[in-house]
């Protein structure tokens, strides 16, 4: 009888605890991390070994860029289950972000652990794409004296190629670009478009052309992507290149006007930058009056727009 009564009395407690966790998870999934955090912390007080709660708290710390707290939570998870690839990946990621936030001498002491946990994630999960991407970037960015290796970076890029051809080509393109092999990078990015054709693949190739002073090819690539993906952000990208490199003024003006007409916050670049680019294009074609109209419009939107102030000075001096 006592046991039955004890169990009965515990039901409300467990129900309340579970309710707290469910509420926290709902807030987390809505990206309301600051409100979710205390609910998870309360739940963890009653369930100190609950790995899912620890993982949630590590993720929240990561979103807040509190790398010390994130490292602490993820290390607990790795200690609890060394065979979980995702725990190693998240711990390695937190270590890596911590290393980026401190001076280079201190950061160097983290490199061994970062490699260890990313490689553990890749070895434990032969399908883990994110861990392989992390290793591609880590090995190509590190100087050789502290363990960097283009060959190792290519090794993981080729592993990606087997798991996901588009990721593999993008990764190989990234390595080639970082290693100053622009023709190889172009070839790999074109392959990524061929097998994937996503907005991101076109963006990588277009950005590569810009970086290598091939603005005509950059505009052509962005225009092809616009025809396929119909993303308004591409209108700005085309207009920006046209303005910066004094190319195809009509195309640039049309794209920037389309960007302004269809603008939403999700497009990323504020409208004042589109006004600024229109002013640049009209300056390039020698139309001072309209150029001034657009640059003044940019400054009305943002009076402290430093680049626009300088552009206005240049236009007035025409």
* CATH superfamily placement of domain 14-125: Tetratricopeptide repeat domain (1.25.40.10)
**With left for phi above 0 and alpha for psi between -120 and 50, is residue 189 left, alpha or beta?**
alpha
For residue 7, is pLDDT > 60?
no
Percent of the chain with pLDDT over 90: 78
Sequence-distant (6+) residues with CB within 8 A of 192 are 166, 169, 170, 173, 201, 204, 205
Instruction: Please name the residues in contact with 216: beta carbons below 8 A apart, sequence gap of 6 or more.
Output: 247
Q: Which tokens go with 90?
A: 């998240």
Q: pLDDT confidence of 263, banded at 50, 70, 90?
A: very high
CA distance 80 to 124: 15
Same fold flag, 14-125 and 231-318: yes
Helix, strand or coil for residue 230?
coil
What is the average per-residue pLDDT within 292-302? 96
Which stretches of 32-143 are DSSP H helices? 33-46, 51-63, 67-80, 85-100, 104-108, 111-124, 129-141
pLDDT at 9 (0 to 100): 43
| pLDDT tens track for 102-155 | 888 888 899 999 999 999 999 999 999 999 999 999 999 887 656 788 999 999
Residue 218: both structure tokens together:
């950059």
Q: Is-contact 94 67, C-beta < 8 A?
A: yes
Would you say residue 2 has pLDDT above 80?
Answer: no
Q: Identify the pLDDT of residue 144.
A: 64
Write down the pLDDT at residue 267: 93
What CA–CA distances, in Å, run from 96 to 91, 102, 258, 275? 9, 10, 41, 39
Cα separation, 236 vs 198, whole angstroms: 18
Q: What is 231-318's CATH number, 3.40.50.880, 3.40.50.1100, 1.25.40.10, 1.10.287.4070?
A: 1.25.40.10
Between CA 118 and CA 28 the distance in angstroms is: 26
Crossing angle, helix 150-163 and helix 129-141, to 10 degrees?
Answer: 160
What integer is the mean pLDDT of 235-256? Answer: 97
Domain ranges of the chain: 14-125, 231-318
Interval 76-92: pLDDT, tens: 999 999 999 999 999 99
Question: Over the stretch 35-59, which tens digit does the pLDDT of each residue have?
Answer: 889 888 888 888 899 999 999 999 9
Stretch 273-287: mean pLDDT, rounded? 97
The structure's pTM equals 0.84
- The answer to whether residues 133 and 167 touch, using CB atoms and an 8 Å cutoff, is yes
pLDDT of residue 271: 96
pLDDT range class, residue 5, cuts 50, 70, 90: very low
* Sign of the Cα pseudo-torsion (99, 101, 103, 104, in order): positive
Task: Give percent of the chain above pLDDT 70.
Answer: 93
Q: Would you state the pLDDT for residue 15?
A: 45
């Amino acid at each position: 009888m006592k046991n039955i009564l004890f169990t009965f009395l515990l039901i409300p407690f467990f129900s309340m605890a579970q309710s707290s966790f469910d509420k926290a998870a709902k807030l987390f999934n809505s990206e309301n991390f600051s409100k979710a955090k205390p609910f998870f912390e309360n739940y963890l007080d009653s369930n100190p070994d609950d790995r899912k709660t620890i993982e949630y708290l590590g993720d929240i710390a990561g979103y807040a860029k509190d790398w010390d707290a994130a490292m602490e939570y993820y290390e607990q998870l790795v200690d609890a289950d060394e065979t979980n690839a995702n725990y190693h990946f998240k711990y390695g990621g937190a270590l890596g972000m911590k290393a980026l936030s401190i001076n280079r001498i201190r950061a160097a002491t983290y490199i061994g652990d970062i490699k260890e946990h990313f490689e553990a994630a890749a070895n434990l999960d032969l399908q883990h794409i994110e861990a392989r991407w992390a290793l591609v970037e880590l090995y190509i960015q590190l100087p050789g004296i502290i363990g960097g290796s283009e060959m190792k970076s290519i090794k993981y890029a080729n592993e990606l190629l087997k798991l996901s051809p588009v990721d593999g080509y993008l990764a190989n393109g990234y390595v080639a670009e970082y290693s100053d092999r622009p023709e190889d990078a172009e070839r790999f990015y074109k392959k990524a478009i061929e097998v994937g054709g996503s907005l991101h693949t076109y963006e990588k190739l277009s950005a590569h052309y810009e970086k290598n002073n091939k603005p005509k090819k950059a505009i052509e690539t962005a225009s092809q992507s616009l025809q396929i993906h119909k993303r308004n952000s591409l209108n700005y990208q085309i207009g920006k290149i046209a303005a910066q490199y004094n190319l195809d003024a009509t195309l640039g003006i049309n794209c920037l006007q389309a960007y302004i007409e269809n603008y939403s916050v999700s497009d990323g670049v504020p409208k004042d930058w589109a006004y600024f680019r229109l002013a640049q294009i009209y300056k390039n074609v020698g139309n001072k009056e309209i150029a001034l109209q657009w640059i003044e419009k940019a400054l009305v939107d943002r009076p402290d727009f430093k680049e626009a102030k300088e552009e206005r000075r240049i236009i007035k001096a025409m």
